[in-house]
Amino acid sequence: MVPVPDPKDVLAGFVRARVDDRVLFADDVDEAIALITTPLSGDVVLLDVRGDLETSTASPGFRRVAAQVDLAHTLAALEAEFVAREAELLIVPGVVDATGEVLPLPRLAAIAHRHGARLLVDAGELATRRVINLTSHGIDYVVLSGAIIAGFGPAVVIGRGDGLPPVDSAHVDTAVAHGLAQAAIAVVDLGFDWIGLHEESLSAVVDDAVRALPGARRLRLWPDVRDRVGLAEIAVAGRYEPVSIRWGIGTGHKELARQLNTLAHVVFEQEAS
* Band of pLDDT at residue 222, cut at 50, 70 and 90: very high
| 42-56, 68-82, 197-211: least confidently modelled range | 42-56
Nearest to 24 by CA among 171, 223, 209: 171
Are 19 and 130 in the same domain? Answer: yes
Q: CA-CA distance, 74 to 69, in Å (whole number)?
A: 7
Residue 2 lies in a domain: no
Mean pLDDT of 28-45: 94
pLDDT of residue 140: 99
- Statement to judge: residues 166 and 202 lie in one domain: no
pLDDT tens digits, 231-241: 888 888 877 67
175 contact partners, CB below 8 Å, separation of at least 6: none
* Domain stop point among 134, 159, 190: 190
In a domain? residue 1: no
- Kindly state whether residues 174 and 196 are assigned to the same domain: no
Compare 208 and 138 and report the one with higher pLDDT.
Answer: 138
With helix as H, strand as E and coil as C, how does 217-268 read?
A: EECCCCCCCCCECCEEEEEECCCCCCEEEECCCCCCCHHHHHHHHHHHHHHH
The pLDDT of residue 273 is 59
Residue 25 confidence class, pLDDT cut points 50, 70, 90: very high
d(CA 156, CA 33): 9
Q: Are 267 and 186 in the same domain?
A: no
Residue 158 lies in a domain: yes
Tell me which of 190, 210, 234 is where a domain ends.
190
In the chain, how long is the greatest CA-to-CA distance?
Answer: 73
In a domain, 117, yes or no: yes
Last-in-domain residue among 139, 166, 190: 190
Contacts of 226 (CB under 8 A, 6+ apart): none
- H-helix or E-strand spanning residue 31: helix 29-37
Q: What residues make up the domain containing 217?
A: 192-272
Same domain flag for 38 and 93: yes
The reply to whether 90 and 129 lie within a common domain is yes
- For residue 63, pLDDT over 60 is answered with yes
Question: Does residue 128 share a domain with residue 246?
Answer: no
Looking at residue 53, its pLDDT comes to 42
Phi-psi region of 16 (alpha: psi -120 to 50; beta: other; left: phi over 0): left
What average pLDDT does the structure give for the chain?
A: 87
> Does 24 have pLDDT greater than 70?
yes
- Is the domain of 169 the same as that of 198? no
The conformation of residue 163, written as its DSSP 8-state character, comes to G
With 60 as the cut, is the pLDDT of residue 35 above it?
yes
pLDDT of residue 247: 67
Check pLDDT > 50 for residue 174: yes
Indicate whether 250 pLDDT > 70. no
Condensed to tens digits (0 to 9), the pLDDT of residues 145-169 reads 999 998 888 999 999 999 999 888 7
Predicted confidence at residue 270, as pLDDT, reads 57
Q: Does the pLDDT of residue 90 top 90, yes or no?
A: yes
| In a shared domain, residues 243 and 184 | no
